[in-house]
Amino acid sequence: MNKHIKYLSLILVLLLATADFIYAGGGNRNGTQGASELLIPVGSRGIALGGSNISTTTGIEALFWNPAGVSRSSRSAEAMFSYMSYIADMGVTYGAVSANISDIGTFALSIKSLSFGDIDVTTDQAPDGTGQKYSPQYITTGLTYSRALSDRVSVGVTANLVMETIAQVSATGVAFNAGVMYENLGDINGLSIGLTLKNIGPQMSFSGSGLYQLASVSTLTRPAGYYLIDAASFELPALLEFGAAYRPQINEQNSVLISTSFQNSEFQGDVYRFGVEYMFNNLIALRGGYAYTPESQETNNIFGLTAGVGINYNLGGTDLKVDYAYRQVKHYFDANHVITVGLGF
């Protein structure tokens, strides 16, 4: 019991240490950050729960939500593939693998890619297009380490390599995520809390031949030449999330999960997330959720209600999970549809 109190005290210290970040004033710097692809969620279960699963996510799907949960898996190895039809005809493809090494911890590798399709090249002289096309490439590759410190407490950290390429310019950066989870808080079976700090890293900036522009200086008597545009650097969308959840065990076949989380960032308004999951016989799950932004709800958060369903099946020693999520998108965009397939060995 003393050991668990020590771990709980550590979580509280971490929360207090980031208090200045929490109360820095959400949304004070809206629209000033870059690398927004880091904020795009992956994993149908978490999306269906409205992103409220900070303290309950386990296994390989925890890579995005809270890396501390990656070590909370009953399998020694896992694999996952997910695809989301995102806004404005964009697609998000995600894949990950993890392996547990006894007495060391769990390691995982993930990659997320955004597809934009072909975009017409336009110039001042050809505003309707030159006939050429380009396709931006946004790729995030992550390496995660997670470890269970006890039967209740686990920690994890992820290093993400962020690469953005748009035509003839590109930017590269590194972003770090860290998380901690505490299960069965206060000896209450099913009560858990979680804390994550995401997208912490140095500023990024674009460079490349596309920043050279042909121009002439009217005050100088020399022909036109190429001048390099000095691109301004931008910060990563750092954020802090705290979550709590409770799963009462109704009986051997039925259980309900109630989860909630709070997200704070200087780059957008505070977000409160809520989710509910009903599980039958650990086989079929029904989920729903909602993310609420009190400040300027209509303009800062284009996403609405979420819902989903999941099926777990054992194939002769291999766990198969298939999950689907729906996320309402407001204004002029179509809804998001997410499909995730996971394997446990």
For the chain, the domain total comes to 1
218, part of any domain: no
335, part of any domain: yes
326, part of any domain: yes
- CA 124, CA 143: separation in Å to the nearest integer? 42
Bridge partner list, 258: 246, 276
216, part of any domain: no
pLDDT single digits (tens) 268-311? 888 999 999 999 999 999 999 999 888 755 555 788 899 999 99
What confidence score (pLDDT) does residue 22 get? 47
225, part of any domain: no
What confidence score (pLDDT) does residue 228 get? 86
Q: Check if the beta carbon of residue 85 is closer than 8 Å to that of residue 337.
A: yes
What confidence score (pLDDT) does residue 215 get? 83
Integer angstrom CA distances of residue 114 from 26, 164, 263, 316: 27, 10, 24, 35
- CA 53, CA 122: separation in Å to the nearest integer? 43
Give the contacts of 13 (CB within 8 A, at least 6 positions apart): none
Q: Check if the beta carbon of residue 244 is closer than 8 Å to that of residue 260.
A: yes
**Dihedral sign from CA coordinates of 16, 17, 20, 26:** negative
Q: Tell me 316's DSSP state.
A: T
Selection from 177, 152, 154 nearest residue 2 by Cα: 152
Q: Check if the beta carbon of residue 48 is closer than 8 Å to that of residue 161.
A: no
Q: Check if the beta carbon of residue 107 is closer than 8 Å to that of residue 145.
A: yes
224, part of any domain: no
Q: Check if the beta carbon of residue 212 is closer than 8 Å to that of residue 225.
A: no
What pTM value is reported for the model?
Answer: 0.91
The residue assigned the tokens 């674009």 is 206
Quote the domain boundaries for residue 42: 2-204+236-344
226, part of any domain: no
Q: How does pLDDT run along the chain (345 residues), one tens digit per residue?
A: 566 666 666 665 665 565 555 445 455 666 678 899 999 999 999 999 999 999 999 999 999 999 999 999 989 999 999 999 999 889 999 999 999 998 899 999 999 999 998 988 888 788 888 889 989 999 999 999 999 999 899 999 999 999 999 989 999 999 999 999 999 988 899 999 999 999 999 999 999 998 988 888 777 777 888 888 889 999 999 999 999 999 987 898 999 999 999 998 877 888 999 999 999 999 999 999 999 888 755 555 788 899 999 999 998 889 999 999 999 998 788 999 999 999 999
Task: Check which CATH number belongs to the domain holding 316 and give it.
Answer: 2.40.160.60
Collapsed DSSP state (helix, strand, coil) of residue 71 = helix
84, part of any domain: yes
- CA 59, CA 69: separation in Å to the nearest integer? 6
What confidence score (pLDDT) does residue 274 get? 97
Selection from 127, 172, 244, 180 nearest residue 10 by Cα: 180
Q: Tell me 203's DSSP state.
A: -
